[in-house]
Amino acid sequence: MKKYAFIVLAALAAACGHVPYDTGTAIRPSEYVSTLVGTQSDYVLSTGNTYPAVALPWGMNFWTPQTGPMGDGWVYTYGAHTIRGFKQTHQPSPWINDYGQFSLMPVRGRDKLGEESRQSWFSHQSETAKPYYYSVYLADHDIVAEMTPTERAAVMRFTFPESTESGVVIDAFDLGSRVEIVDAQTVAGYTTRNSGGVPENFRNWFVIRFDKPFAAVELTDAPASYEAGSRELYPEGGKAVEGDHAVAKVHFSTVRGEQVTARVASSFISAEQALRNLETELGTDDFETVKARAQERWDEVLGRIEVTGGTTDQYRTFYSCLYRSTLFPRKFYEIDAAGKPVHYSPYNGEVLPGYMYTDTGFWDTFRSLFPLLNLVYPSVNAEIQAGLANAYRESGFLPEWASPGHRGCMVGNNSASVVADAILKGVTPEEDVATLYGAMLAGRDKVHPTVSSTGRLGHEYYNTLGYVPYDAGIDENVARTLEYAYDDWCIAQVAKKLGRTEDAERLEKASQNYKNLFDPETKLMRGRNADGTFQSPFSPYKWGDAYTEGNAWHYTWSVFHDVEGLAELMGGGKEFSKMLDSVFVVPPIYDDSYYGVRIHEITEMQVANMGNYAHGNQPAQHMIYLYDYVGQPWKAQYWVREVMDRLYSAKPDGYCGDEDNGQTSAWYVFSALGFYPVCPASDEYAVGSPLFKKALIHLENGETVEIEAPGNGPENRYVGKMTLDGKTLERTFLKYGELLNGAKIAFEMRPEPNDSRGTKAEDAPYSMSDRE
């Protein structure tokens, strides 16, 4: 095996650029990806909580094999033995569940309309799972099923046995659906099954066109009580069923090895738009053409980052993580007859011009997923930001968790970080900057009337007392306060950029509110009552309550914008470092009394064998890099490698907790490159320990960031020396502007720590306290 991931023969210069590959001498990046990473999960233990998404990057529709029953958030689990359909899905997380879902299932035999009767045994040994292609052998039907995607459409190919009872079941799912036989080769309909976040007029309209005429058709709106042959078989068009649960079965007579293709598209706008999506994105292209085009698109997107000088397993892990980092948020817009973007608004139910993206939770993804987009895929984030401006215009709020509209999940006002970082890095379309700045300010002082996680719950207390009190009846009050303070700092940076001096001063003062919850006795962030007393009794191991899916050991470090200020509260850098050391030293003790059960995040912390460090959940993921701020960067280098080596792989159990819309993956992508955005909305990245001997980041502006660590290897995890464009770099951070202009970064790696490098105060990354 050659020791490189692939060879780029022409530089990537733009988002729509094309990369030619010499496939005789190199492996294409898409070939390293396994979409099964993270699928060996269940309710009590997550190793990713993912499903094998067959899709294009940021595509509107994903497709997945369905092993779970209809409505189950665990749509595909690696340990399952049967498949019951191939589902169009928009699910961002099993905890959020799905919307706009329907499925196709090729079958042999009578009946088979119900999901239990049609399911088939399968084996991973006869399964191929790539981003651009999925194939599996359905043993009970003796059928090979394949699928390949476009952004809003897909082609499925079914290889049938010799049978007079071959067919395909189209299941529009329950809770309101319709299926119509349009003609002897076309089925259309809609599904309304969702898990929330949609207006009353929500529909996902679909159209399916087969390349073989139907021999017969069965329709029912009650598959649970349907009996084979109880309905008339009719091949002519114009027949439909509409009700709680519409299902159709189209029949074929096939010879062994005969292939039938189904061309599928959908729309959230209308049946006419679904047909337009079908014709525009598929045209007359055959299965192999669509598949080749999908792989080219993935190679283009994944090929923005080249890594060489690693192991095959490391390449597989890296590109599988990069794949997950480029799925969400998904496009929720379509292209109209005039070629313009248009979207169904999940906020007010209207069809409106412009962009819209959805299916992401900013509590997770503000940390490194969006910073990755800003650096490597800014043209995509420009569309996302335009969509956020539209979301504000249509609902009066920026989303915090969108799927597809506002959802009640998590805490904080972290849309401020996502919006501010894009504005400050010049990514946001100029025409949307003023709207988004106003949206950030508006979100500080209100909460959504029906979705309390949108806006700022407890803003009245925060804006008067400087914190959300523990005894105010608002759970997770410490988490909210800390995140509101950071979000205020983010908005303040935009205010400075826009010349809004008074706003900036007011917001920067508010960003110091984190200090109000610091308990000098325990040196941890602790709930505080409205009268100023700290909550008692206090356990630093108690999950939830004042914190969000974590405890005081995890959330105390959520002062992204002022690590130096936090260190001063603890008594200085040495005490800060001791406290940080303690996270990894104390045993994985926990108190689950708030929840009443041991939630899966607790279990994932325990089994990782890293003390109370909980990389499987997002609040802890930046902690390792905080050693850079207190003059001990070698500790960051040690722990970054430990996490990459021990807690990530390209196997079905390849994550150490919920992957969460690309965040946990983006952590790995950044960390493998050797730096990480601890404080989004600043222009700095904390330096860690690069994983590969060489990496190239091809930026959209035509520049390249070249990262070299020729002596790298598992035994050499420590940075002995670092240069930037040939000049020695003592500091432990890189600047966004340095990377944007193209840079050559060189690491001299060694087996022992260099405890004299990066130890001065001026070597540390940005902190508000020592920079302003």
Strand-pair category, 704-708 with 743-750:
parallel
Which residues neighbour 291 within 8 Å (Cβ) at sequence distance 6 or greater? 132, 133, 148, 155
Residue 40 covered by a domain? yes
In this predicted structure, what is the pLDDT of residue 478? 98
DSSP per-residue letters across 99-147: BS-EEEEEEESS---SHHHH-EE--GGGEEEETTEEEEEETTTTEEEEE
> Which 3 state secondary structure label does DSSP give 620?
helix
Residue 249 covered by a domain? yes
The token duo for 575 is 């005490």
Which residues on adjacent β-strands are paired with residue 249? 169, 218
pLDDT of residue 317 exceeding 50, the answer is: yes
> Which 3 state secondary structure label does DSSP give 476?
coil
In this predicted structure, what is the pLDDT of residue 229? 65
Residue 501 covered by a domain? no
Q: How many CA atoms lie within 13 A of 444 on its CB side?
A: 25
Strand-pair category, 127-130 with 102-108:
unpaired
Q: Give CA 639 to chain center in angstroms.
A: 24
Among the listed residues 224, 214, 135, the one whose alpha carbon sits nearest the alpha carbon of residue 174:
224
Residue 689 covered by a domain? no
Q: Which amino acid is at 149?
A: P
What is the pLDDT averaged over residues 28-57? 97
pLDDT of residue 563 exceeding 70, the answer is: yes
In this predicted structure, what is the pLDDT of residue 238? 77
Domain count, the chain: 1
Taking CA atoms, 643 is separated from 314, 541, 573, 671, in Å, by: 13, 22, 24, 10
Which residues neighbour 329 within 8 Å (Cβ) at sequence distance 6 or greater? 58, 357, 358, 359, 360, 365, 384, 402, 661
Q: For residues 410 and 396, give the distance between their C-alpha atoms in angstroms, rounded to a whole number.
A: 19
State the average pLDDT for the chain.
95
pLDDT of residue 772 exceeding 60, the answer is: no
Element (H, E) at 740: helix 736-740
Q: For residues 30 and 19, give the distance between their C-alpha atoms in angstroms, rounded to a whole number.
A: 12
Cis peptide before 537 (omega within 30 of 0): yes
* CATH code where residue 95 lies: 2.70.98.10
In this predicted structure, what is the pLDDT of residue 770? 83
pLDDT of residue 760 exceeding 70, the answer is: yes
In this predicted structure, what is the pLDDT of residue 234? 64
Q: Give CA 42 to chain center in angstroms.
A: 18
Strand-pair category, 330-331 with 357-358:
antiparallel
Residue 176 covered by a domain? yes
Q: For residues 138 and 495, give the distance between their C-alpha atoms in angstroms, rounded to a whole number.
A: 58
> Which 3 state secondary structure label does DSSP give 659?
coil
Q: For residues 678 and 366, give the distance between their C-alpha atoms in angstroms, rounded to a whole number.
A: 10
What interhelical angle do 312-325 and 663-673 show, nearest 10?
130
Q: What is the pLDDT of residues 276-296, one digit of tens each?
A: 999 999 999 999 999 999 999
pLDDT of residue 495 exceeding 80, the answer is: yes
> 161: pLDDT confidence band, cut at 50, 70 and 90?
very high
Among the listed residues 576, 477, 490, 475, the one whose alpha carbon sits nearest the alpha carbon of residue 528:
477
Residue 192 covered by a domain? yes
Residue 705 · residue 742 · CB < 8 Å: yes
Q: For residues 263 and 357, give the distance between their C-alpha atoms in angstroms, rounded to a whole number.
A: 24
Which residues on adjacent β-strands are paired with residue 358? 330
pLDDT of residue 555 exceeding 60, the answer is: yes
> 27: pLDDT confidence band, cut at 50, 70 and 90?
confident
In this predicted structure, what is the pLDDT of residue 111? 83
Phi-psi region of 713 (alpha: psi -120 to 50; beta: other; left: phi over 0): left
Residue 187 · residue 250 · CB < 8 Å: yes
Q: How many CA atoms lie within 13 A of 606 on its CB side?
A: 14
The token duo for 301 is 């997107």
In this predicted structure, what is the pLDDT of residue 237? 72
E strand spans, 395-481: 401-402
| Domain extent for 41 | 33-302
Q: How is residue 643 annotated by DSSP?
A: H
Q: For residues 260 and 188, give the distance between their C-alpha atoms in angstroms, rounded to a whole number.
A: 18
The dihedral through the CA atoms of 295, 298, 304, 309 has a sign that is: negative
**Between vectors from CA 649 to CA 647 and to CA 653, what angle results, nearest 5°?**
80
Which residues neighbour 155 within 8 Å (Cβ) at sequence distance 6 or greater? 147, 148, 261, 262, 263, 264, 282, 285, 286, 287, 290, 291
Q: Give CA 394 to chain center in angstroms.
A: 24
> 771: pLDDT confidence band, cut at 50, 70 and 90?
low
The dihedral through the CA atoms of 179, 180, 181, 187 has a sign that is: negative
Element (H, E) at 294: helix 287-302
E strand spans, 139-176: 143-149, 153-160, 163-171
What is the pLDDT averaged over residues 163-179? 96
E strand spans, 523-616: 524-525
Q: For residues 737 and 390, give the distance between their C-alpha atoms in angstroms, rounded to a whole number.
A: 29
Among the listed residues 395, 402, 397, the one whose alpha carbon sits nearest the alpha carbon of residue 439:
397
Residue indicated by tokens 């021990």: 646
What is the pLDDT averaged over residues 210-237? 81
Q: For residues 599 and 71, give the distance between their C-alpha atoms in angstroms, rounded to a whole number.
A: 22
Q: In what order do the strands lie in the sheet with 694-698?
A: 305-308, 694-698, 704-708, 743-750, 718-724, 727-728
Cis peptide before 677 (omega within 30 of 0): no
Among the listed residues 307, 237, 272, the one whose alpha carbon sits nearest the alpha carbon of residue 29:
307
Strand-pair category, 186-191 with 177-183:
antiparallel
pTM score: 0.95
Which residues on adjacent β-strands are paired with residue 727? 724
Residue 166 covered by a domain? yes
Cis peptide before 404 (omega within 30 of 0): yes
pLDDT of residue 9 exceeding 80, the answer is: no
In this predicted structure, what is the pLDDT of residue 235? 64
Residue 63 covered by a domain? yes
Which residues neighbour 234 within 8 Å (Cβ) at sequence distance 6 or greater? 181, 216, 217
CB atoms within 10 A of CB 700: 19
Q: Which long-range contacts (CB under 8 A, 24 or more apart) does 372-377 make?
A: 372/325, 372/662, 372/666, 372/669, 372/670, 374/421, 374/422, 374/425, 374/427, 375/697, 375/699, 375/736, 375/739, 376/304, 376/305, 376/697, 376/699, 376/700, 377/15, 377/301, 377/304, 377/326, 377/700
The token duo for 179 is 């299926």
> 22: pLDDT confidence band, cut at 50, 70 and 90?
very low
Q: Give CA 159 to chain center in angstroms.
A: 33
Among the listed residues 384, 407, 383, the one whose alpha carbon sits nearest the alpha carbon of residue 395:
407
What is the pLDDT averaged over residues 390-403? 98
Q: For residues 147 and 132, give the distance between their C-alpha atoms in angstroms, rounded to a whole number.
A: 8
Q: What is the pLDDT of residues 711-741, one digit of tens each?
A: 999 999 999 999 999 999 999 999 999 999 9
pLDDT of residue 110 exceeding 90, the answer is: no
pLDDT of residue 321 exceeding 50, the answer is: yes
pLDDT of residue 10 exceeding 80, the answer is: no
Q: For residues 248 and 244, give the distance between their C-alpha atoms in angstroms, rounded to a whole number.
A: 13
